[in-house]
Amino acid sequence: MKKAYIFPGQGSQFSGMGRDLYDLSAEVKARFEEADHILGFNLSKIMFEGTAEELKATDITQPAVFVHSMAAVIALGNKFKPDMTAGHSLGEFSALVAAGALSFEDGLRLVSKRAKAMQKACEMQPSTMAAVLGLADTIVEEICASIEGVVVAANYNCPGQLVISGEVLAVETAAEKLKAAGARRALILPVGGAFHSPLMAPAGEELKKAIEETPFVNPICPVYQNVSAAASMEAEGIKKQLIEQLTAAVRWTQTIQNMTRDGATTFVELGPGKVLQGLVKKIAPLAEIASE
């Protein structure tokens, strides 16, 4: 009977996010104020009062989702006793801070640098992503490999739900071929660029230096990382995978499968939205979804 805490990524933000948490305790309030101080601008105000459009900017979204997740951890106080953690894409930083591998300040600085580096990479080359529903992973992988240009499987969200990522024309061509192969849907997503693809290499290089210079320690519990989908317990290995994460696929299906195999019976999502709860239900139908 093990409890796993999971943390969402970009896309789970919403107007007013975190306002309810802010009023819970002095400790939570202090975390928001600390975040504003570290970033040098009033992120809290944008989270609480900003429009959906303002919150959509990558350099706002990523810190906002991270801070919301960390505020939720603080709000739990002594009830927060993780047996294991994991996060989807950006959420991996939340999972690492929650497991004590990284300080809140260092985590937020890295998240902010990551967001800016990704934004820069997006501006260098037109690129996009598409959600693919109703096809086996292997078929999606084979079709992507057959397309001229850069297009790869980027997010293994749950069985029958993948996201592909790459150059605009290559993604559009792949989407048409995937529909012809029997995909229920192959829908171009309204995103700024090709996250978790080779096109993020410039951002990866920029982030690599920042990660290497940041102190990490061994976590208090296993952290299941996106790149390997396996448990990590050692600081240097964690850093290595975090460096690879921007250009590698998010193996969420495999992550949840490995967590349940390793004894996770209850999953708690901390952060804005409930997207991951829905994915867990599809990957591990017998697992309990709890809210705290």
d(CA 107, CA 272): 18
> What are the residues facing 273 on neighbouring strands?
none
Output the six-digit token pair for 234: 């050692």
Q: Out of 12, 44, 69, 89, pick the active-site residue.
A: 89
Active site residue 228: no
119: left (phi over 0), alpha (psi -120 to 50) or beta: alpha
d(CA 220, CA 98): 9
Active site residue 232: no
Q: Out of 88, 196, 197, 232, pick the active-site residue.
A: 196
What b/e string do you get for 265-288 counting C-beta neighbours within 10 Å, with b at 16 or more? bebbbbbbbebbbebbeebbeebe
Cross-sheet strand order for the sheet of 84-87: 231-232, 223-224, 84-87, 2-7, 264-269, 288-290
For residue 225, the one-letter residue type is Q
The catalytic site residues sit at 89, 196
